[in-house]
């Protein structure tokens, strides 16, 4: 099945997406970093400097992660971008529907040099939400499951975009490593919930147990994009 999806034509949308988190000017960034109301006038550079010293950044640093960007798209929609275990991770938090939604969607990216070219792979993956849990902050997680998953993608020399219409092939990519990936995304979800509590206290219900959805899968690869970096 996997050999049938090699060299699918790339779409230009990814190029537009690359800059989505870069424009911080005019956002409510400083409000959510420390929970106080400040004068938001100033440059995007000063906002980025604030990120480095925010409580959210300090929490992620204890996990061995690095906060890149935070931005409210609206009063109830937060975009988060960070690096974890050598991967670029970004996700969106919809506070209005957070407890009703059974899954959290992530975009995970990684680059690798192949035959003199820098190739970037981006995986869209949804993880089932479970009850809130505090991640272990004592040791960094290396994400061996994600390492193997990206290794398989690069080894296959895929190109372009692969979406849900190739669901069988996407599931095959997780053969033998699915349980490890589930554990890793449970950890990422737990870290995300804790991060939200740090930057927006009271937004999430304590000890909330999320209901499942009709797909009844703990982890689903929704799409893959592979193109020249």
- 34-43, 94-103, 188-197: the lowest-pLDDT one: 34-43
- Angle in degrees, 0-180, between the axes of helices 178-199 and 144-155, rounded to the nearest 10: 120
**Confidence (pLDDT) at 80:** 92
For residue 179, is pLDDT > 50? yes
Structure tokens at 70: 């935070």
DSSP-derived 3-state class of residue 192: helix
Percent of the chain with pLDDT over 90: 32
**CA–CA separation, 49 and 84 (whole Å):** 19
DSSP secondary structure string, 138-159?
Answer: SS----HHHHHHHHHHHHTT--
Choose from 37-41, 100-104, 178-182 the range with maximum mean pLDDT: 178-182
Question: Considering the entire predicted model, what is its pTM?
Answer: 0.75
First-last CA distance in the chain:
26
pLDDT classification of 120: cutoffs 50, 70, 90 = very high
Indicate the pLDDT class of residue 225, thresholds 50, 70 and 90: very high
Q: Taking a C-beta distance cutoff of 8 angstroms, is the pair 79, 24 a contact?
A: no
Contact (Cβ atoms closer than 8 angstroms) between residue 64 and residue 78: no
pLDDT band at 200 (very low <50, low <70, confident <90, very high): confident
Taking the CA atoms of residue 30, residue 34, residue 39 and residue 45 in that order, the dihedral angle to the nearest 10 degrees is: -40
Question: What φ, ψ does residue 70 adopt, rounded to 5°?
Answer: -135, 140
Average pLDDT, the chain: 75
Closest-CA residue to 80 (of 27, 130, 43, 148): 27
**Domain extent listing, the chain:** 2-25+88-228
The rounded Cα 80 to chain-centroid distance in angstroms is 8
- Residue 137: what pLDDT? 61
123 touches 149 (CB < 8 A) = yes
Check residue 17 and give its pLDDT. 35
Question: What whole-number distance in Å separates Cα of residue 229 and Cα of residue 126?
Answer: 24
- How do residues 26-83 score in pLDDT, each as one tens digit? 334 334 344 322 322 233 444 444 554 477 778 888 888 988 988 888 888 889 999 9
What are 126-161's pLDDT values in tens digits?
999 886 655 656 556 789 999 999 999 999 888 889
CB 225 within 8 A of CB 121: yes
Higher per-residue confidence, 169 vs 134: 169
Q: Which long-range contacts (CB under 8 A, 24 or more apart) does 73-82 make?
A: 78/32, 78/196, 78/199, 78/200, 79/20, 79/21, 80/192, 80/195, 81/21
Q: Which residue has the higher pLDDT, 9 or 63?
A: 63
């Amino acid at each position: 099945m996997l050999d049938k999806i090699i060299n699918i034509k790339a779409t230009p949308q990814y190029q537009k997406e690359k800059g989505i988190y870069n424009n911080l000017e005019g956002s409510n960034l400083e409000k959510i970093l420390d929970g106080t109301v400040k004068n938001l006038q100033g440059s995007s550079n000063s906002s980025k400097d604030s990120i480095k010293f925010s409580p959210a950044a300090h929490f992620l640093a204890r996990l061995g992660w690095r906060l890149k960007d935070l931005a409210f798209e609206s009063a109830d929609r937060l975009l988060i971008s960070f690096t974890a275990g050598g991967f670029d991770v970004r996700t969106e938090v919809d506070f209005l529907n957070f407890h009703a939604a059974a899954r959290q969607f992530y975009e995970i990216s990684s680059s690798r040099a192949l035959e003199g070219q820098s190739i970037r792979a981006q995986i869209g993956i949804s993880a089932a939400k479970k009850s809130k849990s505090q991640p272990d902050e004592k040791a960094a997680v290396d994400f061996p499951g994600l390492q193997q998953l990206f290794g398989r993608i690069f080894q296959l020399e895929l190109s372009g975009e692969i979406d849900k219409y190739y669901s069988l092939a996407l599931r095959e990519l997780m053969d033998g490593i699915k349980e490890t990936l589930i554990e890793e995304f449970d950890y990422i979800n737990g870290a995300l919930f804790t991060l939200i509590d740090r930057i927006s206290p009271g937004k999430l219900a304590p000890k909330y147990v999320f209901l499942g959805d009709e797909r009844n899968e703990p982890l689903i690869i929704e799409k893959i994009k592979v193109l020249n970096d």
